[in-house]
Structures are given as structure tokens and as C-alpha cells.
Amino acid sequence: MPRDDANQMTTDAPQSAATIDTRQKASVSHGVRNVHPVYLDRAQNAEVWDVEGNRYVDFVGGIGVLTVGHRHPVVMDRVTAQCARFTHSCFNALPHEPYVAVTDWLAENCPIEGAAKSMLTNSGAEAMENALKLARAFTGRTGVIAFEGGFHGRTLATLALTGKTKPYKTGLGPLPGPVWHLPYPCPETGVSVSDALDAMAKLFAVSADPGSVGAIVIEPVQGEGGFRACDRDFMNELRRICDENGMVLIADEIQSGFARTGKMFAIEHSGVAPDIIVMGKGIGGGFPLAAITGAEDVMNALSPGGLGGTYSGNPVACAAATGVFDVLKSENILGRAKQLGEKYATHIAWLRDLPGGHVIGNMRGIGAMRAFELIADDGKPSAKRLQTLLQLARSNGLLLMPSGEHANVVRLLAPLTIPFDQVDEAFAIIAKLLPKVAETKD
């Protein structure tokens, strides 16, 4: 997989990290938090360099955005060509072909039964907001069921869906509703399909008439929740419940979509076709783009003008997406995700047998959407050990991303195009650090 040499990039000398940090503290909202106090200067595929010249292996990947890596040549060529033609046209006012190229691909590749239509947006949260609008318009109902541990965005409506209070909902008061949260059935929660169905039956008996619920929203594999994969039998039960009660099933594939799990979309592992798929992150190759694709009757529920946005489906971002789609096929990224997942599993098993390896807990996820837990000596979740690992790994040239209900899960979000020797390098760094991580006590 040839790559441009990032060292050949020529730019003005960047300011020091300390100088930029001072500027950030003076002008950026305190509510914007950084996981890593590293200021990037340049990047290529799965490697990044900061303004001080330090090189890192990137297992953050823009939190799952960079499926085909930083600055993939195909993506960059499409972007350059589009920039030479025009950079913006509000699709609602003056349409353009790059938007239609993306919706054509989505219609052909999303697991929707029958004819599918799409709308493009700027972000996953915006896409979810519009999915809720469509569900309300189609069903005439306002109620929504979501799940504990889910993450669907930071806007007010998507925060109502998100199944975690801190830090997202703290101090905000009542959120748009009605929204009811149910247990998420998977091995990590200890919630069985029967348990989750019983909770839903109780909800319908006590709090929510099924006739008032317009949609069920679920991540087939939770992202922020720590790469927990929903039981496939439960996904099929959700399809049945929606069909029997006239509800819209919305699959949030913002983090799990575009080959991350070894299938184009994670819900395909269950064989279930949702009514709407909400997408983002990996679709744009690093450019701001998201999408909603759904059954034609659902997607046509709003009158013309009811959907849109000034920058939604920006032509440059759409051009980048067409590059991503080509790379997914030409470089067999689905197959590579499976190989990468197997490599992750082998490395994580190897870590457990090393000195300090007892701090490594269970592995989670599907395909290359993998994660592992950091645990205390008594086997309980250890957020402190995770923070120690994150800090030490960064000092040794590896960027990792935390997640999980107890903030003790490392999610592996490297580009699916990462060279395998860089995967080996990353896990060698973790292996070296395990004894020091084990010294951290909760």
C-alpha cells in the first residue's frame, strides 16, 4: 500500500506545544477536553508527528474517522480534483453530482430492504437528529427507546438518547423526550436477551404504551460504551418488535460502520435490516461528512425542504467519500479488517502472559473493532491503570483511546490500512509498559 512520505511535506515551522497550549487555554472553551496534550503537525496513514517533531503510532484514528488512514493518496487526489472545480454549493439551493455519487453508493451498499434513499449531513449527531425527525414524521409518534451505555452525540436530542450522564449531561437539566433507556444485552453487561426483553415488556406495561413509541435506536456495537457487541438474537427481536408495533428501527453505525467490524456495517453480523442507518466518521476519510440511509417510505416522510443544511453534503467531503469507497474495494479493507482483528486478538492474548500482564482484562468487539480492559488486582475495572497506560504509551510513541462505562477500556481505532509491522510495534510498546502499569494501585 504505497504512501506519500510525510517527511517531504513543507510548511512554515510550527509554534512550540507550550505556546499553542497557552493560546488554547486563553481562547478555547473549558468544556472542550483533550485526551492527549499533543499538538499535531503532520500525519500519514497510521503515523502522526507533533509540533515538537515526535512521532507516534496512531491508534486513535480521529476516534474511528480515519478508516483508510491519514491522507490516503486516493482520497487526497479526489479532494484536490474537486477543489480545482468548486468547493461549496448548498445542495438545497444548487445541487451537485458528488452528493449524488455518495447517495448512489449508499443505496447499493447499505443493508436496507427494498429501495433506499439517503440524506447527507456534516456530523453523526446531525444525522441522528434528522433520523429522529424522520421517525416522528413517519410514525406520528414522539417516544424513543435507547440503551444504557450508548452514545449518539452531544446535541440536546442526541444527548437524550445517550445512555451516560457524566460528563455529557451534567448540569443541563431536562432533555428532549420522551426517551426510555433499557439494558444492553451482551457478555460485558451480564444482561441476557431474556433480561432485556423482560425490561422492555415492563417498560411497555408501566411507562410507555408501544403505540407512543416511534423508534428504537441502538448501536450494534457500542463505541463510547467500550466496543460491546449486542447479542444478535436481540437484534432480531428488536426487528420483530418494531414490525409488530409500527416502530422505526434505527441502527447507529457512526463508529462501527465502513468495514470496522469486518462487514461494511456491524448490523450485518445479525442479518437484520434496519429502517434507518445513521453513519458518520469513516465515510469521509477525514473530511466532515455523515449520512442517513433508510427505506424509501421512511426517508420520504418529510415534505421537500424538511431536510437539508447549508454545508450538508459539501462537495469536497463528498469527493473524499468517493475515494474512501474506492479504497474499501480496491484494497479489500473488509478482508484486512478481519486480519487485523485476528492480529489484535493474538497480541492481546500474548500480553496476558507477560510480566504485569494480569492488568489486561477481557477483549471485546468484532473484526478490527477491538478493545481490551484494564483491571485491578482484584479483577475490578481500573480507570487509574488505564490512565497510566495512556500516559506512558504516549511518552513512548503510541496514542491510545479510552472508553467504557468505567473508563477502563482501551479501544483500538488504528486505520484499517495500518501496516502490520506498526501493529507489532504498538503492542511491543504496551508489553514494555505493563510492569509499570501494574505498579499503579486504585
Residues in CB range of 341: below 8 A, 6 or more apart: 262, 365, 366, 367, 368, 369, 370
Predicted confidence (pLDDT) at residue 5 exceeds the cutoff of 70: no
**Closest residue by Cα to residue 277 from 101, 67, 63, 116:** 116
Do the Cβ atoms of 276 and 294 come closer than 8 Å? yes
8 A C-beta contact, residue 399 and residue 57: yes
Kindly state which CATH superfamily the domain 6-68+333-438 is placed in.
Aspartate Aminotransferase, domain 1 (3.90.1150.10)
d(CA 12, CA 186): 50
Domains 6-68+333-438 and 76-330 belong to one CATH topology: no
pLDDT confidence band for 160 (50 / 70 / 90): confident
Q: Considering only residues 154 and 384, tell me which one the structure prediction assigns the higher pLDDT.
A: 384
Q: What are the tens digits of pLDDT across the range 182-200?
A: 999 999 999 999 999 999 9
- Closest of 334, 333, 293 to residue 313, by C-alpha: 293
Edge-to-edge strand list for the sheet holding 143-147:
116-121, 290-295, 276-279, 248-252, 213-218, 143-147, 179-182
Q: How confident is the model at residue 2 (pLDDT cuts 50, 70, 90)?
A: very low
Percent of the chain with pLDDT over 90: 90
pLDDT over threshold 60, residue 10: no
Question: Do 311 and 66 touch, CB atoms closer than 8 A?
Answer: no
pLDDT value at residue 85: 98
> Which CATH architecture fits 76-330?
3-Layer(aba) Sandwich (3.40)
pLDDT at residue 7 tops 80: no
Cis peptide before 95 (omega within 30 of 0): no
Res. 244: pLDDT tops 90: yes
Instruction: Look at residue 11 and tell me whether its pLDDT is greater than 70.
Output: no
**Mean pLDDT, residues 55-82:** 98
Distance CA 315, CA 96 (A): 7
Query: How far is 125 from 156, CA to CA, in rounded Å?
Result: 10
Average pLDDT, the chain: 94
Q: Does residue 230 register a pLDDT over 70? A: yes
Measured CA to CA, the distance from residue 280 to residue 321 in angstroms comes to 11
What number is the average pLDDT over the span 358-384?
Answer: 97
How far lies 398's CA from each of 40, 46, 327, 348, 418, in Å?
Answer: 13, 11, 26, 16, 13
Domain segments of the chain as ranges? 6-68+333-438, 76-330
6 DSSP assignment: G
Mean pLDDT, rounded, for 127-135: 97
- In angstroms, the CA 136 to CA 14 distance is 49
Place of cell 435490516: 273
Torsion, CA 304, CA 305, CA 309, CA 314, rounded to 10: 40
- Cell numbers standing for residue 374: 484494564
- The helix (H) or strand (E) run that includes residue 64 is helix 61-64
| Average pLDDT of the segment spanning 157-175 | 80
Q: Which is it for the CA torsion 434, 440, 441, 442, positive or negative?
A: negative
Is 72 in contact with 286 (CB distance < 8 Å)?
no
Rg of the chain's alpha carbons, rounded to an integer? 22
Torsion of CA 138, 142, 143, 149, to 10 degrees: 90
